């Protein structure tokens, strides 16, 4: 059973910022190379799911990760409140359309889990219904893994209520951050603990669900260090190789 | 256990063509009305899946059914061999994109089951893999039912090998039908029994799958009579009512 209160949002004693940054840049270089292999071989795909409360650092994480990814083979989808067309379908309809094709890396900034979180906190759906939605997500994710060799990484950016407050205040006070402020941030801050409960509800749904990585995210450099490391490790495990030319072709002579 | 050899492709003794046609036209009128209610209330949706061997009459069925449906609320999707973009995703990716929105009726001419049938007959996928695909389809269909109130009707147009031969020959000989002939028809005819086996494999997969209706389809008028009746019955069961105006509004006075 995962209880978020048992997970520190800032356990950065073990490593210095400078060292973490050095490792992160090396890992990012490795990611650049591996993602090119993934794209060249067109056999597997990678889906990175980022979740976290408001101001947890999802946008920042995307920005930092993208620096290491070739846009020719990598896209990011930020999920907002569903449109009326999306609402006229099941909640996985819009998600399924956006899963990565073979060779591609897709980052979900928010995801299918919003359709659990929001009704959980609002109390707008029965628990039973939320359980059946989580069953559907579990089946859907495992189906992508089995049917299309999609590797799925799910990160929860774990920040403290105090850190969230600080960031929301920055959004209100810093003219360069004003544009990120939304009055709903204040409500989300008030409901901080309800959201934590909703996440625990998700994490503890079923042992057959694909696992989450809970990322201590009060310090941005530490968050980026951990996520970069996890993405690199995942790509290494995918055993990616460049496709080989058919050797029977020989070396064709090209005109000079 | 369903064995297709036990199902007649032409059990038309019980009804005369003229009487069947009369009933069909009445049913079609009823469908017109019910489909308008479905569209107006925007709460449920209807997915009609048509499968059958080559020349079983799928196109003809669509044409006959559409006569009773309002195109403002009804679409038909004919599935061909997957494109390279579709092949770079799981086999349900293109299907999920095309499921009906609330209020809509969608007809699938061929469907997700082609991704079982073709590899089954070609022997290109292990039985185990085909079973897991059928599990995925079962979960997917039940999910649409539960999550989006989609009613799913699955019809198998059951014709004899003799009738298929006759129809393919017509395609070859009748200048107005030539355009429907494809050399692959001949191969499909040779593999008639392999396809029957593949369908039995699908029908007998799991008792939790949504049921199929096996439609004797050697006689076109009988096929249309049965399908129209089944669609009407299904729409009647959906308990569709027009949305009501909020009575507190009173009758607004409109300027003359």
Assigned domain for B47 exists: yes
**Residue in B92, B101, B132 closest to A89 by CB:** B101
Assigned domain for A111 exists: yes
pLDDT at B100: 98
pLDDT at B112: 98
Assigned domain for A5 exists: no
pLDDT at B252: 65
Both structure tokens of A111? 């995801």
Percent of chain B topping pLDDT 70: 98
B90/A42 CB distance under 8 A: no
A99/B92 CB distance under 8 A: no
What's the mean pLDDT when you consider all of chain B?
94
Both structure tokens of B253? 């006075």
**Residue in B85, B146, B148 closest to A89 by CB:** B148
- Chain B residue at shortest CA distance from A41: B88
- Write phi, then psi, for A110 (nearest 5 degrees): 70, 170
| Alpha-carbon distance B204 to nearest alpha carbon in chain A (angstroms) | 22
Q: What angle do CA A89, A94, A95 make, to 5 degrees?
A: 130
Q: Report the residue of A73, A88, A141 to disrupt the B interface, i.e. the one with the largest count of B CBs within 10 Å.
A: A88
Residue that the structure tokens 């509004």 belong to:
B249
Please answer whether residues B140 and B134 qualify as being in contact, where contact means their C-beta atoms are separated by less than 8 angstroms.
no
pLDDT at B98: 98
Q: What is the pLDDT of residues B72-108, one digit of tens each?
A: 899 999 999 999 999 999 999 999 999 999 999 999 9
- Chain B residue at shortest CA distance from A137: B143
10-residue stretch averages of pLDDT, chain A, 256 residues long:
95 91 96 94 97 96 87 93 97 98 97 97 97 98 97 98 95 88 89 97 94 97 97 94 75 71
Nearest Cα residue to B54 out of B219, B243, B228, B186: B186
Residue B222: pLDDT above 80? yes
Q: What is the pLDDT of residues B243-256, one digit of tens each?
A: 877 777 676 677 77
Number of domains in chain A: 1
**Residue in B89, B132, B144 closest to A90 by CB:** B144
Assigned domain for B250 exists: no
Q: What is the pLDDT of residues A100-118, one digit of tens each?
A: 999 999 999 999 999 999 9
Assigned domain for A117 exists: yes
- In chain A, residues with a C-beta closer than 8 Å to the C-beta of B136 are 139, 143, 147
B101/A85 CB distance under 8 A: yes
Assigned domain for B213 exists: yes
CATH number, domain of B64, equals 3.40.50.300
Assigned domain for A107 exists: yes
pLDDT at A41: 93
**Angle in degrees, 0-180, between the axes of helices A161-173 and A192-203, rounded to the nearest 10:** 130
Assigned domain for B103 exists: yes
- In chain A, residues with a C-beta closer than 8 Å to the C-beta of B91 are 147
Q: Can you tell me the mean pLDDT for B108-128?
A: 97
Measure the CA–CA gap between A247 and B102, rounded to whole angstroms: 54
Measure the CA–CA gap between A16 and A14, rounded to whole angstroms: 7
A147/B139 CB distance under 8 A: no
Residue that the structure tokens 């920040």 belong to:
A159
Query: What range does the domain containing B186 cover?
Result: 16-237
| Alpha-carbon distance B237 to nearest alpha carbon in chain A (angstroms) | 21
ipTM: 0.91
Please answer whether residues B137 and B92 qualify as being in contact, where contact means their C-beta atoms are separated by less than 8 angstroms.
yes
| DSSP secondary structure code for residue B15 in this structure | S
Q: Can you tell me the mean pLDDT for B105-126?
A: 97
**Alpha-helical segments (H) within B42-183:** 58-66, 84-87, 93-97, 114-122, 127-148, 161-173
Q: Can you name the residues that pair with B108 across neighbouring β-strands?
A: B49, B77
Measure the CA–CA gap between A234 and A237, rounded to whole angstroms: 5
A148/B42 CB distance under 8 A: no
pLDDT at A249: 67
């Amino acid at each position: 059973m995962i209880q978020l209160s048992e997970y520190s949002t800032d356990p950065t004693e073990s490593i210095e910022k400078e060292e973490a940054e050095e490792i992160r840049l090396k890992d990012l270089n490795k990611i650049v190379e591996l993602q090119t292999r993934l794209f060249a071989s067109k056999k597997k795909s990678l889906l990175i799911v980022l979740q976290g409360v408001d101001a947890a650092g999802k946008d920042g994480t995307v920005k930092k990760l993208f620096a290491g990814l070739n846009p020719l083979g990598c896209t990011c989808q930020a999920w907002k409140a569903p449109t009326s067309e999306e609402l006229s379908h099941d909640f996985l309809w819009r998600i399924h359309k956006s899963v990565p094709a073979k060779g591609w890396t897709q980052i979900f900034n928010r995801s299918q889990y919003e359709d659990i979180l929001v009704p959980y906190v609002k109390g707008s759906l029965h628990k039973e219904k939320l359980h059946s939605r989580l069953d559907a997500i579990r089946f859907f994710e495992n189906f992508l893994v089995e049917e299309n060799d999609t590797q799925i990484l799910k990160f929860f950016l774990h920040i403290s209520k105090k850190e969230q407050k600080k960031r929301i205040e920055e959004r209100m006070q810093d003219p360069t951050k004003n544009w990120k402020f939304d009055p709903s941030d204040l409500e989300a801050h008030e409901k901080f603990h309800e959201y934590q409960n909703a996440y625990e509800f998700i994490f503890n749904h079923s042992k057959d669900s694909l696992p989450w990585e809970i990322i201590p995210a009060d310090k941005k450099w530490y968050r980026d260090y951990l996520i970069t490391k996890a993405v690199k490790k995942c790509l290494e495990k995918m055993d990616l190789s460049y496709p080989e030319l058919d050797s029977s072709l020989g070396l064709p002579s090209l005109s000079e």
